């Protein structure tokens, strides 16, 4: 009778353990599938420009007698090489922010510095498309974190705003302080008057290599990794990134970060010193 009583008591525990084990296995399989997808995507994305470079170099050799053709092919080779370099750089950035749960080299960073860097990064492309980038409300705002990562995050948002907007439109970067429980949140919003993002894609644009229109993204030099980087940077800083969009009218991406001195930020600061 004793044995029966024990087994009756342990049965629910046993089945709960089995359930946990099954859940664990499902999660492990999901992670493995994500990893496999990622490797397949990276290989594909690297092979495309590498293959194009190889074909173009053959074309240059064949066209040695035709200087005009050589110039044309060389220009295309330059584009493919740039694409390859961008992709490798973004893969490095992504693995850095993913592995780095703790913030390395965190400091006080004025939001204005991030805005200036982001604008510098897009100046040429914006001028080419006659897109005006304006900023406001960022004076006196600071965030606490890794300067290079934060600059990369805002840079990516502004770059996308320019890339996915028609000529003669405006991009606005605005900063504000939003009061919440446990301290303020610093909000940096990037608004464009671009093509917008269909509702069904809105959640997914933060996934690695997810693009609404792969051909368009490639044409603008996109790697499909930009928003994944932004999301990781926001998360490792105790913040988040959100998107609002209306198709054909434009999008707003908001980067929300804890204000230095807030409870959330103090928690992060303590973690980074560990």
Residues that bind ligand ADP (CB under 6 A): 156, 160-161, 164, 192, 194-197, 205, 210-213, 217, 222-228, 251
Strands 142-145 and 170-180, bridge-based pairing: unpaired
Least distance from C-beta 16 to ligand ADP, angstroms? 40
Least distance from C-beta 143 to ligand ADP, angstroms? 21
Residue with smaller CB distance to ligand ADP, 145 or 224: 224
For residues 48 and 50, what is the distance between their CA atoms, to the nearest angstrom? 6
Q: Which two tokens stand for residue 57?
A: 């170099």
Residue with smaller CB distance to ligand ADP, 194 or 239: 194
Contacts of 179 (CB under 8 A, 6+ apart): 185
Least distance from C-beta 272 to ligand ADP, angstroms? 26
Distances (CA, A) of 274 to 103, 104, 271: 10, 11, 5
Residue with smaller CB distance to ligand ADP, 10 or 89: 89
Residue with smaller CB distance to ligand ADP, 144 or 164: 164
Residue with smaller CB distance to ligand ADP, 172 or 197: 197
Least distance from C-beta 251 to ligand ADP, angstroms? 4
Give the 3-state secondary structure of residue 164. coil
Asked if residue 259 lies in contact with residue 238, where contact means CB atoms within 8 angstroms, the answer is: no
Least distance from C-beta 140 to ligand ADP, angstroms? 27
Query: Burial letters for 245-263: b for 16+ Cβ neighbours within 10 Å, e otherwise?
Result: beeeebbbbbbbbbbbebe
For residues 79 and 20, what is the distance between their CA atoms, to the nearest angstrom? 50
């Amino acid at each position: 009778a004793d044995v029966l009583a024990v087994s009756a008591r342990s049965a629910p525990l046993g089945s709960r353990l089995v359930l946990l084990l099954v859940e664990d296995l499902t999660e492990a399989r999901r992670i493995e599938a994500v990893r496999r997808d990622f490797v397949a995507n990276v290989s594909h994305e690297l092979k495309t420009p590498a293959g194009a470079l190889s074909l173009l170099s053959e074309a240059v050799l064949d066209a040695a007698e035709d200087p005009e053709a050589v110039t044309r092919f060389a220009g295309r080779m330059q584009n493919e090489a740039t694409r390859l370099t961008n992709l490798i750089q973004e893969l490095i950035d992504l693995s850095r922010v993913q592995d780095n749960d703790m913030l390395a080299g965190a400091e006080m960073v004025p939001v204005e510095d991030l805005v200036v860097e982001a604008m510098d990064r897009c100046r040429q492309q914006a001028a080419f498309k006659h897109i005006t980038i304006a900023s406001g409300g960022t004076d006196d705002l600071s965030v606490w974190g890794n300067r290079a990562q934060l600059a990369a995050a805002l840079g990516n948002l502004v770059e996308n705003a320019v890339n996915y907007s028609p000529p003669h439109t405006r991009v606005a970067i605005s900063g504000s302080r939003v009061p919440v429980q446990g301290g303020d949140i610093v909000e940096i919003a990037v608004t464009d008057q671009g093509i917008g993002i269909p509702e069904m894609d809105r959640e997914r644009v933060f996934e690695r290599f997810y693009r609404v229109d792969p051909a368009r993204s490639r044409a603008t030099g996109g790697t499909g990794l930009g928003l994944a980087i932004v999301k990781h940077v926001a998360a490792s800083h105790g913040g988040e990134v959100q998107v609002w969009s209306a198709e054909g009218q434009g999008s707003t991406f908001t980067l929300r970060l804890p204000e230095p001195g807030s409870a959330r930020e103090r928690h992060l600061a303590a973690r980074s010193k560990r």
